[in-house]
Structure 1
Amino acid sequence: MEQINELFQQNHEVLLGYFIQLVAAIFIFYVGRIIARGIKRLIEKGLLSRSIDKAVVSFLSSIVYAVLIIATTLMALSQVGVQTTSFIAILGAAGLAIGLALQGSLANFASGVLIILFRPFKSGDFIDAGGISGTVDKIEIFQTTMKTPDNKRVIVPNAKITGSHITNFSAEATRRVDLVIGISYDADLLKAKNLLQDIIKNDERVLAEPAPNIRVSELADSSVNIIVRPWVNSADYWGVYWDTLEKVKLTFDEHGIGIPFPQMDVHLKQETKE
């Protein structure tokens, strides 16, 4: 017992220094954990306020929390004299190796985060992205599930979607229907335009504003092309498109307006023998 007391008296300053360092390390870890939890809650609150999926919010906030806890732990270990340089080097090497091994998955993950944050489209929108046209069914962190018009389920990696242009057909309330109607050169042009105006005017789905546009667009090789561009609600687009084509064909047939097919004139020359 006397030896222990003597040893303590001889090294009490060193032991006191270690004790203070230990208390400081515990304090750093405790305060760091509180700060990490606070930052996690702020991130969750901010992301949820933007109507981001709860599972994604939980995933992202957990990653941030884990990174902050690791940083806090390294700071606490450094306070008690542990050399953290080697730990940081090991973590960096491990992160690099994992990143190289999972670079495709990480690219999809980053793209999924961008899609969820900036929301270029949402579930239920009809889009053209990643070479696929369809209705968005689910937006997940690594992939987006779409349904094509013929009811096929297509799973598209998020990196492929963000790596190319995205066309969202459902983003706006109205759309313009673009039709090109060709008539023969010997047909009555003014009569054809009047018939087209009547077809568009009698369709209740066509909006009055902006006004429909019916103009001659081209004197082509085999036909006089007329553009027909009415505006409709997005939900009525395909109905107006298909119905208008059918009405144009029936109406033109009824009034003798010819719709030509591509033609080519071939001139034959007969060589005379001497």
Structure 2
Amino acid sequence: MEALFNQYKDQVILWAAKNGTNLIVALIILIVGHWLAKRISHLLQKAMQHKGMDLLLINFIRGVAYYAIMAAVFIAVAAQVGIDTTSFLAILGSVGLAVGLAMKDNLSNFSSGVMLVLFRPFTFGDFVDVAGVSGSVVAINLFHTELKSPDNQRIIIPNSLIMGQVITNVTGNATRRIDMVFGIGYGDDIAKARDVIIAALESEAKVLKDPAYTVAVSELADSSVNFVVRPWVATADYWDVRFRLTESIKLALEANGISIPFPQRDVHIIQPAQA
């Protein structure tokens, strides 16, 4: 056993003496190449930011550039240690084909990520509904997209699931319409109720004048006359204005003696006739 160890030890020492310089150079190439990949990708990011490019596109291109440079570095390292790069590339291509077939879902995610970056149905910070979940866009990576839910959960979605379904960009436009319904009693004055609702809308500073809001009777329901109230607001003000109007319109209707019906049921008890 000791003789076998000594035999291989001598071979290792001989190989190291013969190829030590190449190994050192290969290690230097790897270290310098890794530093250059990080440096170049960082400079590329800075240049794209200076041009005002979209943040999601910047992050995506930076990732692709980094991995492309590192692939070239590994090929240079292989050549330095004596591996035939022609054969190496052929073997790598064969392995890549096999891996590609085994990882077709990841390739689909990658191609979907490219499509998301090119066509940009949403960008950083947009609030979207995709693949059955909702959240603000944090990042588009090579294989997945990251969202942050309103209650601060981190949501990771494969890119292929996003491109294969309907994408709703909730904050994609500068303005949004708030759709609200208020019901009044059948015995209440419709014209007065309309004036009260309009006054509440006019008193809300963040309701836009253009497009104009809509206040109209939409339905004669089972227990109420329903008004649709549809003001337009800046997208960033949507929820604040919606919450305030819900409260202010209810209080205004009550202050003016206009009832707001709620579902109720009358129960009639019939006593059986006495024998």
- TM-score, structure 1 normalization: 0.66
Equivalent residues in 2 for 1:54-203, closer than 5 Å: 55-56=60-61, 59=64, 94-203=95-204
Q: Give me the whole-angstrom Cα distance separating, in 1, the residues matched to 2:162 and 2:274.
A: 67
Other-structure match for 2:206: 205
- Percent identity of paired positions between Structure 1 and Structure 2: 46
Q: Give me the whole-angstrom Cα distance separating, in 2, the residues matched to 1:198 and 1:176.
A: 18
- Unaligned stretches of 5+ in structure 2? 1-43, 72-86
Q: Is the 8 A contact 1:128 1:134 kept in 2?
A: yes
Q: Is the 8 A contact 1:56 1:141 kept in 2?
A: no
List per-residue Cα deviations over 1:139-179 (Å, max 9, x = no partner): 21211111111122222222222221111122111111111
Q: Give me the whole-angstrom Cα distance separating, in 2, the residues matched to 1:253 and 1:128.
A: 37
What secondary structure sits across from 1:123 in the alignment?
Answer: coil
What secondary structure sits across from 2:217 in the alignment?
Answer: strand
Structure 1 letter corresponding to 2:103: L
Number of matched residues? Answer: 213
Structure 2 letter corresponding to 1:157: P
Structure 2 letter corresponding to 1:144: T
Q: Give me the whole-angstrom Cα distance separating, in 2, the residues matched to 1:184 and 1:162.
A: 47
List per-residue Cα deviations over 1:87-113 (Å, max 9, x = no partner): 98x888655532332122222211111
Q: What RMSD over aligned residues (CA atoms) do the two structures have, in Å? A: 3.5
| Stretch deviating more after TM superposition (97-106 or 52-61) | 52-61
What secondary structure sits across from 2:139 in the alignment?
Answer: strand
What secondary structure sits across from 2:165 in the alignment?
Answer: coil
Shift in alpha-carbon separation, 1:106–1:266, aligned structure 2, 3 A: farther
Instruction: Report the CA distance between 1:263 and its aligned residue.
Output: 3.0
Q: Give me the whole-angstrom Cα distance separating, in 2, the residues matched to 1:106 and 1:114.
A: 12
Other-structure match for 1:53: 58
Other-structure match for 1:220: 221
- TM-score, structure 2 normalization: 0.66
Shift in alpha-carbon separation, 1:60–1:267, aligned structure 2, 3 A: farther
Q: Give me the whole-angstrom Cα distance separating, in 1, the residues matched to 2:231 and 2:146.
A: 32
Q: Give me the whole-angstrom Cα distance separating, in 2, the residues matched to 1:55 and 1:159.
A: 16
Q: Give me the whole-angstrom Cα distance separating, in 1, the residues matched to 2:184 and 2:97.
A: 65
| Stretch deviating more after TM superposition (93-102 or 202-211) | 93-102
Shift in alpha-carbon separation, 1:273–1:100, aligned structure 2, 3 A: farther
List per-residue Cα deviations over 1:117-151 (Å, max 9, x = no partner): 11111111111112121111112121111111112
Q: Is the 8 A contact 1:185 1:224 kept in 2?
A: yes
Structure of higher CA gyration radius = 1
Structure 2 letter corresponding to 1:197: I
- Unaligned stretches of 5+ in structure 1? 1-43, 67-83
| Stretch deviating more after TM superposition (159-168 or 260-269) | 260-269
What secondary structure sits across from 1:53 in the alignment?
Answer: helix
List per-residue Cα deviations over 1:227-247 (Å, max 9, x = no partner): 000111111111110000000
Other-structure match for 2:39: none
Other-structure match for 2:231: 230
Shift in alpha-carbon separation, 1:54–1:147, aligned structure 2, 3 A: closer
List per-residue Cα deviations over 1:62-99 (Å, max 9, x = no partner): 76xx8xxxxxxxxxxxxxxxxx9xx98x8886555323
What secondary structure sits across from 1:252 in the alignment?
Answer: helix
Other-structure match for 2:248: 247
Q: Give me the whole-angstrom Cα distance separating, in 2, the residues matched to 1:138 and 1:217.
A: 42
Q: Give me the whole-angstrom Cα distance separating, in 2, the residues matched to 1:127 and 1:142.
A: 18
Q: Give me the whole-angstrom Cα distance separating, in 2, the residues matched to 1:155 and 1:136.
A: 10
Q: Give me the whole-angstrom Cα distance separating, in 2, the residues matched to 1:108 and 1:257.
A: 56
